[in-house]
Amino acid sequence: MVPKQTNTGGRKVGAVKQCLIEVEDVISGCMRDRLTLLETVEHCKQQFKKEGVYNPYLTDKRLIKKIYSSWTKDPSGEVMI
């Protein structure tokens, strides 16, 4: 049996999910603008540097590459872009 999460734990999980959704939104916008992976990584870094933005996942190159790469391949593994 999994113990019930406290409100504090639930808020932390929610905050992480929100940060990941934000990263996906930024990457999605970059792909819509047809930016390369390197340009997308740089754009995410610039978003992180904006005042009032604290999302450490925007600086995680591995995460950005993983999301970007998973969205640029079709099910057979071929690159679509």
pLDDT digits (tens, 9 = 90+) for 34-76: 999 999 999 999 999 998 889 999 999 999 999 999 998 765 5
CA-CA-CA-CA torsion sign (31, 37, 38, 43): positive
Nearest to 20 by CA among 65, 63, 79, 70: 63
Q: Measure the CA–CA gap between 64 and 59, rounded to whole angstroms.
A: 8
pLDDT band at 5 (very low <50, low <70, confident <90, very high): very low
- pLDDT over threshold 50, residue 1: no
Q: What is the pLDDT of residue 3?
A: 41
What pLDDT, on a 0 to 100 scale, did the predictor assign at position 49?
Answer: 93
